[in-house]
Copies of this chain bind each other. A is one copy, B any other.
Amino acid sequence: MRVIVIGGAGFIGSNLCKRLLEMGHQVACFDNFSLGNEDNIRELEKNSKFELVKGDASKLDELDEVFTTFKPEYVFHLAANSDIQASASNPDVEYVNTYSTTFQILSCMRKHNIKKLFFSSTSAVYGDKRDVELDENTPGLAPISYYGAAKLGSEALISAFSYMNDMSVLVFRFPNVIGENLTHGVIYDFMHRLKEDSSQLRILGDGRQTKPYIYVQDLVDAMLQFMEAPQGVTLYNVGVEGATSVTKIADIICEEMGLKNVKYNYTGGEGGWKGDVPRFQYNIDKIHVAGWKAKYNSDEAVRITVRKNLEA
């Protein structure tokens, strides 16, 4: 199949491209390299079934060109600002990179009569509902970050475009994803800072912010298993067993890096930054019943990620 991965040079996108090529698909990787990275796809460029197209998914004409030449049958939309902390001080980033990309991709699919889409959404659409076990039918979605807002707005667009144009869309809401080719986030930050100074580590909040972390290969497994969705929108929470606190992440990194007696300096307070959701409970029964389960739990995902990034 002819598959375009928009945001294909990014963290999740590059891991997905690799797996799609292994399955024998013809893959176009479309990326603006704002967060994507040529290093992530250098190996893939040797594959004759892979092509790289530099372009901005928030611009209809640039999408239109690749849709015209490559003629994709399936669109993976992974283009977004994925650094929530960064956009907290500049909501324009989410407007352009997260919402407008979705609008223009859907508009281009509508124009070219393309019916199949995967969309990467997020647990951030729910907002801060720490006392509720979040399932796909939890009411009152109230994002507290501009990122979550732009993703929920994107889901709303997908709902209308799929109805109006008979599209088949798979939407995954997933929490933090980690693994090979990580570009930012707490693990990335801690590892970089400990390489510079292994005597101490500054930790935002009280270190007890606890979230589920999913290993990227587990996520890609789920994307590939369910990519052929029925007409309409099929929505899954995708996650793992367990959750890992920030302090536990620091502990695992120190263990894997062979560091002892690192002093943790907590900044205090409960959240890492405004717009961060410090704790949540994620119900993933729906996708389990449908036949997928993550191989790695949250702590294991953190450990394997640290190892892969130390090897790289």
Contacts and interface: CB of A to CB of B under 8 A. Distances in A.
A258 interface: no
Copies of this chain:
2
Given A103-B95, A139-B139, A157 B164 contact: no
Would you call the interface of chain A mostly helix, strand, loop, or mixed? helix
A94 B144 CA distance: 24
A268 to B, nearest CB: 20
A153 interface: yes
Interface string A68-111: 00000000000000000000100110010001000100110010
A162 to B, nearest CB: 9
Given A137-B139, A137-B140, A233-B142, A159 B103 contact: no
Contacts of A205: none
A274 interface: yes
Interface size class, chain A: 35 or more
B157 A142 contact: no
A298 interface: no
A212 interface: no
Contact of A160 (B107, B148, B156): B148
Given A160-B149, A233-B142, A107 B88 contact: no
Contact of A156 (B139, B153, B274): B153
A127 interface: yes
A101 to B, nearest CB: 12
A161 to B, nearest CB: 7
A33 interface: no
Interface in A132-189: 136-146, 148-150, 152-154, 156-157, 159-161, 163-164
Contacts of A106: 91
A149 B156 contact: yes
21 contacts: A91-B103, A92-B107, A127-B159, A137-B139, A138-B139, A141-B156, A141-B159, A143-B156, A143-B160, A144-B159, A144-B163, A144-B164, A145-B164, A148-B156, A149-B160, A150-B157, A153-B153, A153-B157, A156-B156, A163-B275, A164-B274
Given A99-B103, A142-B163, 4 more contacts: A91-B161, A139-B139, A143-B159, A153-B156
